[in-house]
A and B are shown apart, each in its own frame.
Chain A
Amino acid sequence: MRIEQREHQSKVLIVVAPLMAVVASLSIAGVLIALAGAPVFEAYKVIFVGAFGSKFAITETLTRATPLIVTGLAAAVAFRARIWNIGAEGQLYMGALLATAVGYQNFLGLPSFALIPLLIVTGAVAGMVMLVIPLGLRLRFGVDEVVTTLLLNFVVLLFVSMMLDGPMKDPLAFGWPQSVPVVDEGLLPKLVERSRLHLGLVIAIALAIMVYVLNQFTVFGLESKAAGFNPVAARFAGVPFEKTLIKVACLSGGLAGIAGAIEVTGVKGLVSNDLSASFGYAGIVVAMLASLNPIGVIFAAIFTAMMFVGSESMSRTFGIPSFIADVVVSLSLLTMLVAVFLSNYRIRR
């Protein structure tokens, strides 16, 4: 038995691969649901209805998808240039923290349309710094950024916790570890009344389109792809290798930071230790499910959000632990890897 590269990558498979992956992971997770004693098809129906069954459910799912789109983009742009940024979780928190630090008082008396962009840019800068450091360590010392970005996630979470206990603690929160809130002018307007869905979704989609344009139509997009795939050839062709990677890191870290700023200004209005439900890590799955395509990221994020939101209602209905959502999402990363493999190779006997 041997593995051979397909002479022509099947276009159909490029679209079908993620669907295959999702079906495979749902099937495997179905076994787990059955083992827990719940009816599988019923359970999945409840998940779907829980995520899309009502106007409110839809707004909840889209609210959940919003940060996932942005962290998914952060992972996608980095992976495309072979920067293994696993630190989106930390970058997100750093973005959230800094945006809050700037936005808890409207020092300059800015109107919303100026303050909100300021907070988002602040978040982006914080995220950038958090990725440029590990990238610098890789370029300078050859340290694998996977491990450093992972370790930095823990450092950042502790730093956030320290800030919430100390300088940024909300004295009115009855001792809960949460930050002072962002002023009202800094909050993103709601898209739908009496829901949590906010302008962040529009921003996220705009960012996806922006990344798509950058990738497809710009010199930066071409250079970052070349640098990612073959640094030696890229250097030979005069692509400024390190500069390009640093730009990519700024974009990726910046996006993750924006995700944090959006989550703060859109949903909670403040930072707490549970601001992110592993949005940073889930972003990696989202990016892979989308084959790193920025537009695909939107759909992959909605699928992921559906699993998380829907599994909560399934949990209530059947008593299945809502961790099943994490199982499905992480499994779909593995099944997606296999699906992509199958669309590029075939196994011959």
Chain B
Amino acid sequence: MTDLIEIFFTVGLWASVLRIATPLIFGTLGALLCERAGVLNLGIEGIMTFGAMIGWLAVFNGVDLWTGILVAAICGGVFGLLHAGLTVTLGLSQHVTGLGITLFASSFSYYIFRIAIPAQNTPPTIEPFQPVDIPVLSNLPFFGEAFFTQTAPTYLAIAVALFMAYFLAKTPMGLAVRITGENPHAAEAQGVDPIVIRYGAVIAGSAMMAVGGAFLTLSAFNSFFPTMMQGRGWICIALVVFSTWKPGRAILGAILFALFDAYQLRLQNVLGQVVPYQLFLMLPYILSIVALVIMSRGARVPQALMQPYRKGER
């Protein structure tokens, strides 16, 4: 029993928490931004997959790592544009469109990947992001190694989350995004075009999702393989609900979730002989469902979420 608790005091656990949390933070923030503007983006799973593939492929073909991230972000934005075109301009079902985008983006990723890299026994690899020690802080005992020796995109994720919190709460455009998600007619009555805002939010949000995916292939691992996303996108959608649509809580939710995930990985080593490993792998998904159940009640959902807006129709 003490073994189970001791895990919490290992540096390795905490160092891996932020690593596991990073794609979730990006994905959750992206989904959160879309939803704050009133658009549910279930394309997330596919967009993350595409980001992972295209970021990796770009780097494999010789661009540097940050350009790889940028390429992923741009491609994510393009999928966002597609989602916005279908759901905002045409007002199609956000559920079905999002799923369609996930199915398309995933299969398109696999297709491109297979064309670029014909099947091999061992997938080719790239040189991923290396950990960056934050001066001074990384010298702290325990905490230094656990939290301040991450790769650069992890720090970026946290910076983006803090920026998003400020952006939504304190800037005119953040207010425009929120009012569009609450009542697009109120936005329009004040001269803010809800359609433009929704396009912007969905494109930017989708770009973030793709960056989250690229983190997996450019930092957490060094190669791409189909099905690597493992439902991370869907977990992000659950995390948005868990965070009650607040960026600050999104980091917290992602970290809590990653802690759980990191813990179960280590638990497998301890209890793996007794308990089938699949049970541990199931836990993150079950945890997400539990989180949804707990938080769905009384959560202040953006009032216009999933409601298409057409000019002049009320």
Is B186 part of the binding interface, using a Cβ–Cβ cutoff of 8 Å?
A: no
Inter-chain contact A333/B96, CB cutoff 8 Å: yes
Inter-chain contact A143/B293, CB cutoff 8 Å: yes
Question: Given the complex of chains A and B, what is the CA–CA distance between A186 and B90 in angstroms?
Answer: 49
Is A159 part of the binding interface, using a Cβ–Cβ cutoff of 8 Å?
A: yes
Inter-chain contact B285/A155, CB cutoff 8 Å: yes
Chain A interface, >50% SS class? helix
Inter-chain contact B278/A147, CB cutoff 8 Å: no
Chain A residues whose C-beta falls within 8 Å of the C-beta of B293 in the assembled complex: 137, 141, 143
Question: Given the complex of chains A and B, what is the CA–CA distance between A297 and B110 in angstroms?
Answer: 27
Inter-chain contact B42/A152, CB cutoff 8 Å: no
Chain B residues whose C-beta falls within 8 Å of the C-beta of A281 in the assembled complex: 103
Chain B contacts with A in 65-97, Cβ cutoff 8 A? 82, 86, 89-93, 95-97
30 pairs from A and B in contact (CB 8 Å cutoff): A3-B89, A3-B91, A3-B310, A32-B111, A137-B293, A141-B293, A141-B297, A146-B95, A147-B241, A148-B289, A150-B231, A150-B234, A151-B235, A151-B286, A153-B231, A161-B278, A162-B279, A281-B103, A284-B99, A285-B103, A320-B115, A329-B103, A330-B103, A333-B104, A334-B82, A334-B86, A334-B97, A337-B96, A338-B86, A345-B90
Is A229 part of the binding interface, using a Cβ–Cβ cutoff of 8 Å?
A: no
Sample of 6 further A-B pairs with CB below 8 A, known A86-B99, A150-B231? A143-B293, A147-B292, A159-B278, A326-B103, A334-B82, A337-B97
Closest CB pairs A-B (n = 7): A326-B107, A321-B114, A330-B103, A162-B278, A330-B104, A323-B111, A333-B100
Interface string of B265-305 (1 = CB under 8 A from A): 00000000000101101100110110011001100000000
Question: Given the complex of chains A and B, what is the CA–CA distance between A17 and B282 in angstroms?
Answer: 41
Inter-chain contact B100/A334, CB cutoff 8 Å: yes
Chain A residues whose C-beta falls within 8 Å of the C-beta of B241 in the assembled complex: 144, 147
Is A84 part of the binding interface, using a Cβ–Cβ cutoff of 8 Å?
A: yes
Is B101 part of the binding interface, using a Cβ–Cβ cutoff of 8 Å?
A: yes
Chain A residues engaging chain B, CB cutoff 8 angstroms: 2-3, 32, 35-36, 79, 84, 86, 137, 141-144, 146-148, 150-155, 158-159, 161-162, 165-166, 281, 284-285, 288, 320-321, 323-324, 326-327, 329-331, 333-334, 337-338, 341, 345
Inter-chain contact A151/B231, CB cutoff 8 Å: yes
Interface size class of B (residues with CB under 8 A): 35 or more
Is B238 part of the binding interface, using a Cβ–Cβ cutoff of 8 Å?
A: yes
Q: Which residue of A lies closest to B42 (CB)?
A: A146
A141-B293, A141-B297, A326-B103 known; A152+B276 contact, CB < 8 A:
no
Inter-chain contact A331/B297, CB cutoff 8 Å: no
Chain B residues whose C-beta falls within 8 Å of the C-beta of A2 in the assembled complex: 311-312
User: Shortest CB–CB separation between residue B164 and chain A, in angstroms?
Assistant: 21
Contact among A36, A84, A143, A162 with B95 in the assembled complex (CB-CB below 8 Å) = A84
Question: Given the complex of chains A and B, what is the CA–CA distance between A150 and B311 in angstroms?
Answer: 33
Contact among B110, B279, B289 with A151 in the assembled complex (CB-CB below 8 Å) = B289
Question: Given the complex of chains A and B, what is the CA–CA distance between A79 and B101 in angstroms?
Answer: 18
Inter-chain contact A141/B234, CB cutoff 8 Å: no
Chain A residues whose C-beta falls within 8 Å of the C-beta of B129 in the assembled complex: none
Is B225 part of the binding interface, using a Cβ–Cβ cutoff of 8 Å?
A: no
Question: Given the complex of chains A and B, what is the CA–CA distance between A337 and B99 in angstroms?
Answer: 12
A158-B281, A284-B99, A326-B110 known; A151+B288 contact, CB < 8 A:
yes
Chain B residues whose C-beta falls within 8 Å of the C-beta of A155 in the assembled complex: 282, 285-286
Inter-chain contact A337/B234, CB cutoff 8 Å: no
Question: Given the complex of chains A and B, what is the CA–CA distance between A121 and B297 in angstroms?
Answer: 35
Question: Given the complex of chains A and B, what is the CA–CA distance between A151 and B285 in angstroms?
Answer: 6
Is B120 part of the binding interface, using a Cβ–Cβ cutoff of 8 Å?
A: no
Contact among B92, B107, B279, B297 with A337 in the assembled complex (CB-CB below 8 Å) = B92
Q: Which residue of A lies closest to B275 (CB)?
A: A162
User: Shortest CB–CB separation between residue B293 and chain A, in angstroms?
Assistant: 5
Is B237 part of the binding interface, using a Cβ–Cβ cutoff of 8 Å?
A: yes
A165-B278, A334-B86, A341-B92 known; A147+B100 contact, CB < 8 A:
no
Chain A residues whose C-beta falls within 8 Å of the C-beta of B167 in the assembled complex: none
Contact among A137, A152, A327, A345 with B108 in the assembled complex (CB-CB below 8 Å) = A327
Question: Given the complex of chains A and B, what is the CA–CA distance between A281 and B106 in angstroms?
Answer: 12
Inter-chain contact A147/B237, CB cutoff 8 Å: yes
Contact among B42, B107, B230, B296 with A154 in the assembled complex (CB-CB below 8 Å) = B230
Question: Given the complex of chains A and B, what is the CA–CA distance between A232 and B151 in angstroms?
Answer: 52
Q: Of B115, B241, B293, which is in contact with the most chain A CB atoms at under 10 Å from its CB? A: B115
Question: Given the complex of chains A and B, what is the CA–CA distance between A334 and B293 in angstroms?
Answer: 31
Question: Given the complex of chains A and B, what is the CA–CA distance between A137 and B291 in angstroms?
Answer: 12
Inter-chain contact A324/B111, CB cutoff 8 Å: yes
Inter-chain contact B285/A152, CB cutoff 8 Å: yes
User: Shortest CB–CB separation between residue B91 and chain A, in angstroms?
Assistant: 8
